[in-house]
Chain A
Amino acid sequence: MSSANRPLSPHLQIYRWQLTSVLSILHRLTGIFLSLGAVALVWWLFAAAFSDAYFAFVQGLFASLSGKLFLFGWTFSLFYHLANGIRHLLWDVGFGFDLRTTYITGWTVVIAAFALTALAWACTVGL
């Protein structure tokens, strides 16, 4: 078999998804999205430093439906990346490598990300 044609692993059409790999991919995706969020934060601060009119314009964009969707995605990404990042730091110090603990911490991260996102947006209801 030529090396160019051999099957690649993981073979995505028959790959059985697991929590661990999904969370790993999600960590990177949320990280990329958070980088966009950092650009947005700098842009927002720049607008606030610049003028009343430009700040009002940028605030209007964030208050629009697509702006709110972006902020919602940013909040979820932040809490997910934060929780899973703590999981990574625990791995760095040698905690939680066995399969059972990996799944427990994994589901904890998922629940924490959803709960903290819901909490943050619940706080905006009164504003």
Chain B
Amino acid sequence: MSAVIRTAKGGHGFRHWWAQRITAVALIPLSLWLVAGLLAHGGADRAALKAWLADPVPAILMILTVSAALYHAVLGLEEVVVDYVHGSGARIACLILLRLAGAALFAIGIFAVLRISLGA
């Protein structure tokens, strides 16, 4: 329980900060790749998009981008929650919801890329 209280008080400490930096560094090339990829393939029809993600390299890069972006978003939003949501009950509820929403979106995103890539 003490870990929950520490989390509710904003005491994530070093690991939170470090994971935010690692995902930030990863997202420098990945986000640029995503914009370039969306510019080239984002307006395409479904068949063309499938053909793009059927190639292993874009499929793997898309999985990495979705993963890093969602993890980075959860870490950043946790900071916002810790700064602005007062009262430990509401704060813990928000932090739990954030992690669960992040995990759900991660599962949906990875499943989607695999299904597009491996054929649906």
Contacts and interface: CB of A to CB of B under 8 A. Distances in A.
Q: Do A and B bind each other?
A: yes
Interface string B61-80: 01000100110010011001
Contact of B35 (A50, A63, A78, A86): A78
Interface stretch (A3-11, A32-40, A95-103): A32-40
B21 A92 contact: yes
B91 interface: no
A41 B14 CA distance: 29
A55 B49 CA distance: 11
Contacts of A32: 76-77, 80
Contact of A123 (B39, B66, B73, B76): B39
Given A32-B77, A41-B69, A48-B50, A127 B43 contact: yes
Nearest to B75: A31
A38 to B, nearest CB: 5
Interface string B41-69: 00100100110000000000010001001
Contact of A48 (B21, B43, B112): B112
B31 interface: yes
B35 A120 contact: yes
Contacts, number: 82
A3 to B, nearest CB: 16
Nearest to A45: B112
B76 A31 contact: yes
Contacts of A42: 66, 70, 105, 108-109, 112
Interface of B: 21, 24-25, 27-28, 31-32, 34-35, 39, 43, 46, 49-50, 62, 66, 69-70, 73, 76-77, 80, 105, 108-109, 111-113, 115-116, 120
Interface of A: 28, 31-32, 34-35, 38-39, 41-42, 45-46, 48-50, 52, 55-56, 59, 63, 75, 78, 82, 85-86, 88-89, 92, 120, 123-124, 127
